[in-house]
Amino acid sequence: MEDAVRNPLFRKMEEISPGFYEIQLAKSRIPINLPTSLGVAVLSYAKEALLDFQNYLDRLIDRDHKQNLMIDTDCLYFSAASDNLEDLVQPHLRREYYDSIYGHCSSLPVTAGQNGVSYFPRRCCQEHELLDKSSPLFFKLENKSDSMICLNPKSVITRAVGPTTTYKYSCKGIQRDRLDMATIWDRYLSVLKTAKPEIVENITFRSFGNKVYTYAQKRVGLSHSYWKRKIGPDLINTTPLEF
């Protein structure tokens, strides 16, 4: 252990149990053998496509009838004033909307958002609907629920109430089997209302010599921190960062 602490690559050490420590070292070598410019370009194009889709929705639906809940690189969650999105289309744009959905039943290739084509998959026929659902730039329905809690892009949960209440959630850094489905909604809600992070215990194992040890490690699980926007005094609404 003393040799590890003296190592110039040493970063931090945490005691797991008496006599056992977890030591974090920096990498001694970082190979740069991938075209990082390609990844930056793909990410930039993805954000541009999402921004175009957001502008399309703002034009199609009055802002009094929808509110964004969370936007990430490849998804957009928003609450709507109706279960049917078509009911929210502004009256003077409905003909244009229906033409963009049903009026391009052609064997020629189409691009979302161009030449009058909608950002939603076409519904003129089943063939084109399935084709658009697997094509880039078309936005598909991922989840439809009654309520949603967004702590940050990696910690969200949706709840659909019915004969059986169903949840869809993401919880980066937490082992999913450590979450009790009976209390999972209340745990997210508590963090949202109090801004106090929830400490969770992950259980994993490490090999040492010819033995395998199981250990438990506590860490911050559900966090209220949101670094991409400024959280308001009500701990729920956010505003853009000021630069």
Are 195 and 223 a contacting pair, CB within 8 Å? no
Mean pLDDT of 30-57: 90
Q: Smallest Cα–Cα separation from 202: which of 173, 172, 165, 235?
A: 173
Return the structure tokens found at 187: 């745990």
Give the distance, in angstroms, between the CA of residue 195 and the centroid of all CA atoms in the same chain: 19
The answer to whether residue 47 scores a pLDDT higher than 80 is: yes
Q: Tens digits of per-residue pLDDT, 157-202?
A: 999 998 999 999 988 888 887 788 888 999 999 999 999 998 888 8
Return the biggest CA–CA distance within the chain. 74
Going by pLDDT thresholds of 50, 70 and 90, the confidence category of residue 130 is very high
Mean pLDDT of 9-32: 85
- Distance (Å, rounded) from C-alpha 229 to C-alpha 237? 10
Q: Look at strands 66-71 and 76-80 and give their pairing.
A: antiparallel
Mean pLDDT of 199-228: 84
What's the length of the chain?
243
Going by pLDDT thresholds of 50, 70 and 90, the confidence category of residue 57 is very high
E strand or H helix at 19: none
Q: Smallest Cα–Cα separation from 155: which of 182, 191, 124?
A: 191
The answer to whether residue 127 scores a pLDDT higher than 80 is: yes
Mean pLDDT of 198-223: 83
DSSP class of residue 197? P
The answer to whether residue 243 scores a pLDDT higher than 80 is: no
The residue written with tokens 């496509």 in the block is 49
Give 172's contacts (C-beta < 8 A, 6+ positions apart).
154, 155
Give the distance, in angstroms, between the CA of residue 73 and the centroid of all CA atoms in the same chain: 8
Mean pLDDT of 35-52: 90
Are 196 and 224 a contacting pair, CB within 8 Å? yes
Sheet strands (E) in the chain: 10-17, 20-25, 66-71, 76-80, 147-152, 155-160, 166-171, 199-208, 211-220, 230-231, 238-239
Give the distance, in angstroms, between the CA of residue 78 and the centroid of all CA atoms in the same chain: 12
Q: Tens digits of per-residue pLDDT, 60-78?
A: 999 899 999 988 888 899 9
User: Tell me, what's the pLDDT at 5?
Assistant: 85
Query: pTM to 2 decimals?
Result: 0.77
User: Tell me, what's the pLDDT at 210?
Assistant: 80
